Structure 1
């Protein structure tokens, strides 16, 4: 008597039905991201190498050629930074592990995010101001250990503490800051503000006023629709936003916070677009 055939594996069953089994392992997703990023970097590194060769090919590089080479190098650095951001964003979006709640000092995380992305701002010629917390400037980042409130913390630190997942909050702030830096024109400015309220801590990132007031108005409308997950009106194409904002929206919603687009400035010709996040001080436990 023959023994019955062993049960088909999930992969075999998926193959027989003509559809692939969805990837559910964060590790598999991470491997795919790393390989894709490696492939992208390889091409960029080859371009950088050729730019280096061309730069050394002339005793005195003609001005137009030098500007072109400088533009290539700047573009390559920006693309490499974008790939790094993409790696982290996709990995975080694929991570469905439950949050690890703890008391987190948003001021410390915001200061560190500014320090981490200052070089990116300088590369684009964008002024990234020091953090303003209720009007006070905080130019010196505290020790990393101060990001989590310890017993006996001062009232100044507690003023900006919220329930949060530190592993997700830190990249949320970095990616949101990067988005605003990339949106800012050369010579523009980006500033970060924190406001302490009884029930929440408000983070606000302000961009330089646009030269075109209509662009500011359309950006405010697009951000408002995106943050509110509003479907496009009949006949309108869906608003496309950066991967940084996609990550930000998910991380913000995970923390029970609220994203909004605001305007700053009474002069209709000089309206600054602001992205605000209101983080509740305490998460509502199920």
Structure 2
């Protein structure tokens, strides 16, 4: 997260008048926490497959090798022991680190959706968007609809979608938030034209961490989201909904979509 700084080594220059509110600072910290856990989860998942394969092939090799050859048997034992040590590291370091935040605590209560949109958009407009010269527009078809869920968690997810869109937009560009609800679900979609140069411009003010912005520009495996949106995904799924990030070439429209049941019940 970038905050106003006076000569701190490596800090991003912050233009005059750009102030980070206490709420924005907290949202940035939560974004970083969820992103850390998301990356650890990917590491744990992606390493276990190859490690299991190596472990299985070690047993295959053991049956093929000469049981009376101590060097061969010692080599196979070393392979198996190495795999077991790596699995133990995953369990004691990676999985244990995620344990405290693996279950997302939610405070369910009914609330009106329209005020949530107004407050979140105002937070982004008055800070980052105004400083970067990006316009945030709202196309809302909401009236008096209410949602039974965790208002603060959902506000954080919506804030992150808008904040990323602003950071990925050039000066003078427009970020659009479209919101509607049907009989059962709330739909919030953020649309913007992603510009890699704007997203990673070191001279521009940023709220999101540099490595997260860089990773968001890299190709993604099917159905995987950029790390920075881990909070959005966790919050949506915890409410029984889902979060989607579209793929689009440079300078073409990108969409971030949050869909949550109006009568959400905890899914974690």
Instruction: State the TM-score bracket (shorter-chain normalisation).
Output: 0.5 to 0.7
- After TM superposition, give the deviation of residue 89 of structure 1 in Å: 2.9
Supply the distance in 2 between the matched residues of 1:225 and 1:219 (Cα, whole angstroms): 15
Paired with 2:104 and 2:195, the residues of 1 have a C-alpha distance of: 40
Q: Which residue of 2 aligns with 1:66?
A: none
2:54 is the counterpart of 1:47:
no
Confirm or deny that 1:86 pairs with 2:28: yes
Root-mean-square deviation over aligned CA pairs:
4.1
What is the total number of aligned residue pairs between the two structures? 180
Residue 157 of structure 1 corresponds to 144
Aligned counterparts of 1:106 and 1:221: Cα–Cα separation in 2: 34
Aligned pair 1:102/2:87, yes or no? no
* TM-score, with structure 1 as normaliser: 0.51
Is the counterpart of residue 188 in structure 1 residue 173 in structure 2? yes
- Aligned to 1:208, which of 193, 196, 201? 193
* Structure 1 portions without partners, runs of 5+: 1-36, 51-70, 137-155, 213-217, 228-239
| Aligned equivalent of 1:171 | 156
CA contact (8 A) 1:220 1:261 kept: no
Q: 1 or 2 for the larger relative contact order (CA 8 Å, sep ≥6)? A: 2
Q: 2:238 aligns with which of 231, 235, 254?
A: 254
Question: Where do 5+ consecutive residues of structure 2 fail to align?
Answer: 38-99, 198-215
Q: Secondary structure at the match of 1:278?
A: strand
Distance 1:200 1:220 in 2: 31
Instruction: Report SS of the residue matched to 2:188.
Output: strand
Change (3 A) 1:89 1:197: same
Task: Tell me the alpha carbon deviations over residues 180-228 of structure 1, each in whole angstroms, 9 at most, x when there is no partner.
Answer: 111112221101111222221110101037699xxxxx9797396324x
The normalised TM-score by structure 2 is 0.53
